[in-house]
């Protein structure tokens, strides 16, 4: 009897996923990208709260796998992150694509930290095309290297939710404590100055061509990311309003 119930639930889930795929054409899908410490996660969270989109952070997906500490993959990813290296395309693409068909992403997705290079951009286009969907906008956060390094050295994270803070620019209400849960915040090993310099260098090499790629599609929006959280969000929001949202 239990097997019949499980089969019925799985059949319903597959049918519902099919309906979701048909509705993807009405989605709003946004990319927000920029160098490490540019504020992608913070801005993506604020956008998702306003227009009720699914926030998919490639960094958080990776950290979740590392935190599980239950496979060779988690160990390999930790070694790459600690060294400031980028995660191989096939791994991060698989992690993200598995989330796109979830119920929470039915209205569309904000892709935070992905794509990082042209190959990933092409792959994302293919993933969305397979779901009768497409990108609405690509937001590029621009910020000087010296500002990035200063920002990153003060970043704080709530591991479970991915919420981000900064000791100077966006401090929690209580020092080293998450505003929502009251749990202790942490700093990441890959936010050390030497590691962040390496990450910025790798980012520039890999992500440099993205601007031309999305500009050719007419969806690129450049935003100055050097202000405080709210002023940057206002610029991001104004840039998004230049596009047509259904």
The string of pLDDT tens digits covering residues 135-166 is 999 999 999 998 888 888 888 989 888 888 88
Active site amino acids: 40, 116, 155, 188, 199
d(CA 204, CA 25): 32
Going by pLDDT thresholds of 50, 70 and 90, the confidence category of residue 179 is very high
Q: What is the pLDDT of residue 58?
A: 83
Higher-pLDDT residue of 116 and 182 is 182
**Token digits of residue 135:** 């990108």
Among the listed residues 159, 197, 140, 181, the one whose alpha carbon sits nearest the alpha carbon of residue 62? 159
d(CA 180, CA 155): 17
Q: What is the pLDDT of residue 173?
A: 95
* CA-CA-CA-CA torsion sign (142, 147, 153, 156): negative
Domain residues of the chain, as ranges?
2-145+208-240
**Token digits of residue 213:** 């790629």
- pLDDT, tens digit, for every residue of 40-77? 988 999 999 888 899 998 888 888 888 887 778 888 88
Per-residue pLDDT averaged across 213-229, rounded? 92
Q: What is the pLDDT of residue 74?
A: 84
Per-residue pLDDT averaged across 214-240, rounded? 92
Q: What is the pLDDT of residue 17?
A: 41
Q: Quick one: 144 exposed, middle or buried, by C-beta within 10 A (0-12, 13-18, 19+)?
A: exposed
Q: What is the pLDDT of residue 31?
A: 95
Mean pLDDT, rounded, of the chain: 82
Q: What is the pLDDT of residue 126?
A: 93
The four Cα atoms 213, 215, 221, 225 give a dihedral, to 10 degrees, of 50
User: SS3 for 45?
Assistant: helix
Q: Does the structure show a pLDDT above 70 at 4?
A: no
Q: What is the pLDDT of residue 96?
A: 84
Counting DSSP H helices and E strands in the chain, the numbers are: 10, 7
Answer yes or no: are the C-beta atoms of 92 and 58 closer than 8 Å: yes
Contacts with 1 (C-beta within 8 Å, 6 or more apart), sequence order = none
Contacts with 237 (C-beta within 8 Å, 6 or more apart), sequence order = 47, 50
Q: What backbone torsions phi and psi does residue 33 show, to the nearest 5 degrees? A: -140, 165
Per-residue pLDDT averaged across 206-220, rounded? 91
* pTM, to two decimals: 0.70
Q: What is the pLDDT of residue 222?
A: 93
Q: Which CATH number fits domain 2-145+208-240: 3.30.930.10, 3.40.50.300, 3.40.50.970, 3.40.50.1100?
A: 3.40.50.300
Among the listed residues 243, 9, 192, the one whose alpha carbon sits nearest the alpha carbon of residue 83? 192
Q: What is the pLDDT of residue 246?
A: 39
Q: Which helix (H) or strand (E) segment is 97 a member of?
A: helix 89-100
Comparing 5-14, 50-59, 102-111, 200-209, which segment has the lowest mean pLDDT?
A: 5-14
């Amino acid at each position: 009897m239990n097997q019949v119930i499980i089969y019925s639930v799985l059949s319903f889930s597959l049918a519902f996923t099919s309906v979701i795929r048909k509705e993807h054409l009405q989605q709003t899908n946004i990319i927000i990208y920029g160098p490490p410490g540019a504020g992608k996660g913070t801005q993506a969270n604020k956008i998702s709260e306003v227009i009720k989109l699914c926030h998919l952070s490639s960094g958080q997906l990776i950290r979740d796998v590392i935190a599980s500490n239950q496979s060779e993959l988690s160990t390999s990813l930790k070694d790459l992150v600690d060294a400031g290296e980028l995660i191989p395309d096939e791994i991060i693409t698989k992690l993200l694509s598995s989330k796109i068909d979830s119920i929470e992403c039915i209205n569309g997705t904000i892709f935070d930290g992905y794509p990082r290079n042209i190959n990933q951009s092409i792959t994302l286009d293919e993933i969305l095309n397979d779901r009768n969907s497409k990108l609405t906008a690509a937001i590029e956060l621009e910020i000087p290297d010296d500002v990035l390094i200063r920002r990153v050295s003060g970043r704080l994270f709530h591991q479970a939710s991915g919420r981000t803070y900064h000791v100077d620019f966006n401090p929690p209400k209580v020092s080293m404590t998450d505003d929502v849960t009251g749990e202790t915040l942490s700093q990441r090993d890959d936010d050390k100055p030497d590691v962040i310099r390496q990450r910025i260098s790798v980012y520039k090499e890999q992500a440099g061509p993205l601007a031309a790629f999305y500009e050719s599609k007419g969806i690129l929006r450049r935003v100055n990311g050097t202000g405080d959280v709210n002023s940057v969000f206002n610029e991001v929001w104004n840039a998004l309003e230049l596009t047509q949202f259904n």
